Amino acid sequence: MVTATEAKKITIEIQRQDTPDSEPYWEAFEVNYRPNMNVISALMEIRQYPVNKDGKATKPVTWDMNCLEEVCGACSMVINGRPMQSCSALVDKLEQPIKLAPMRTFPVVRDLQVDRTRMFDSLKRVKAWVPIDGSYDLGEGPRMPERKRQWAYELSKCMTCGVCLEACPNVNDKSDFMGPAPLSQVRLFNAHPTGAMNRDERLNAIMGEGGLASCGNSQNCVVACPKGIPLTTSIAALNRDTTVQMFRNFFGSDNMVD
């Protein structure tokens, strides 16, 4: 006996692309509905049985995923017109047919899989890390005031998913703007007592081409961020920091007091 739940079907329309240089096309699939189903589980079912809605065998769909817990940021895609994490996108909360497309801010590798090198290169540019030699025991790290630690923790939730870059109208193939995520990481690592040793270098990096001045303050990023990171607050704070840095560069940092 077939129950009502087993009989229910979900229609998934996927924008596919066979190679980085080929033209995109749409293909529809049907999967059996299950309670509490997310987009990833629907994609996994399509991959297991790659037959489209017309009953024709097709190539398995390609996408990125890893943790399935909204931590790694790998499974970002555009779902019903909005960039988000497919692991936390529940089918019950989505309008159907569910339309899946790759984030077009980044070059498409195949289907829903994109190359986010652009974002990772920007993180390298701003040195988004704390430079510590881990080859010997340095003892306990420096302490941060609790209030500062709390807002720094919010910035540290960034999972480099790329959603904020996809939502930002200033990040596109005609612009070299690095986007909100790398900028916010500048504020995070400059706030760390050890990371602050490279503060001037990070601030100078975002004062150049494609840096802070390219932000149009649309605030789409803070709305789209899956982790609710205060990206625009970071950008506002960096505007002040880079102004001070400009004077430091002009007059010489040795003659200025923070």
Name which of 171, 208, 214, 174 is nearest 83 in CA terms: 171
Instruction: Report whether pLDDT(235) > 80.
Output: yes
Instruction: Report whether pLDDT(1) > 50.
Output: no
Number of domains in the chain: 2
* Terminal alpha carbon distance of the chain: 75
Q: Are residues 73 and 171 in the same domain?
A: no
Contact between 194 and 200 (Cβ < 8 Å): no
What whole-number percentage of the chain has pLDDT above 70?
93
Q: What is the pLDDT of residue 252?
A: 79
Return d(Cα 4, Cα 21) in angstroms, integer.
Answer: 43
Assign residue 101 the CATH number of its domain. 3.10.20.30
Return d(Cα 139, Cα 20) in angstroms, integer.
Answer: 48
pTM of the model: 0.89
Assign residue 227 the CATH number of its domain. 1.10.1060.10
Q: Are residues 247 and 220 in the same domain?
A: yes
Q: Are residues 128 and 211 in the same domain?
A: yes
Instruction: Report whether pLDDT(182) > 90.
Output: yes
- Looking only at the bridges linking them, the beta strands covering 98-101 and 82-85 are unpaired
Q: Are residues 101 and 182 in the same domain?
A: no
* DSSP secondary structure string for all residues of 179-207: -HHHHHHHHHHHHSTTGGGGHHHHHHHHT
Q: Are residues 211 and 231 in the same domain?
A: yes
* Cβ count near 173 (within 10 Å): 10
SS3 of residue 248 by DSSP: helix
Position with higher pLDDT, 257 vs 117: 117
207-213 contact pairs (CB < 8 A, 24+): 207/242, 207/245, 207/246, 209/176, 210/122, 210/175, 210/176, 210/177, 210/178, 211/177, 211/178, 211/183, 212/183, 212/238, 212/239, 212/242
Q: Are residues 245 and 125 in the same domain?
A: yes
Q: Are residues 159 and 106 in the same domain?
A: no
Instruction: Report whether pLDDT(154) > 60.
Output: yes
- Domain stops at, among 114, 132, 167: 114
- Mean pLDDT, the chain, whole residue set: 92
Contact between 162 and 72 (Cβ < 8 Å): no
Q: Are residues 30 and 126 in the same domain?
A: no
Q: What is the pLDDT of residue 137?
A: 74
Q: What is the pLDDT of residue 253?
A: 62
H helix or E strand, kind and range, residue 146: helix 146-155
Contact between 106 and 116 (Cβ < 8 Å): yes
Q: What is the pLDDT of residue 254?
A: 57
- Domain stops at, among 114, 130, 150: 114
pLDDT, tens digit, 9 for 90 and up, residues 83-137: 999 999 999 999 999 999 999 999 999 999 999 999 999 999 999 998 877 766 7
Instruction: Report whether pLDDT(199) > 80.
Output: yes
- Domain stops at, among 74, 91, 114: 114
Give strand pairing partners of 113: 110
Q: Are residues 194 and 215 in the same domain?
A: yes
Q: What is the mean pLDDT of residues 232-251?
A: 93
pLDDT, tens digit, 9 for 90 and up, residues 41-80: 999 999 999 999 999 999 999 999 999 999 999 999 999 9
- Looking only at the bridges linking them, the beta strands covering 108-110 and 113-114 are antiparallel
Amino acid at 236: A
pLDDT, tens digit, 9 for 90 and up, residues 21-35: 999 999 999 999 999
Q: What is the mean pLDDT of residues 171-188?
A: 95
Q: Are residues 101 and 136 in the same domain?
A: no
Q: Are residues 132 and 233 in the same domain?
A: yes
Return d(Cα 152, Cα 113) in angstroms, integer.
Answer: 31
Q: What is the pLDDT of residue 255?
A: 55
> What is the domain range of residue 37?
4-114
Q: Are residues 109 and 11 in the same domain?
A: yes
